[in-house]
Amino acid sequence: MAFEAALGMERLCTIREIAEKAELGAATVHRALKNRREVHPETRRLVLETVCLLNEEKIARAARLVGD
Nearest to 20 by CA among 31, 29, 9, 12: 29
Nearest to 51 by CA among 13, 3, 9, 10: 13
Q: In this predicted model, what pLDDT tens digit does every residue of 26-67 receive, in sequence order?
A: 999 999 999 999 999 999 999 999 999 999 888 888 788 777
What 3-state class would DSSP assign to 43? helix
pLDDT on residue 6: 44
Handedness of CA 29, 34, 38, 42 (dihedral sign): positive
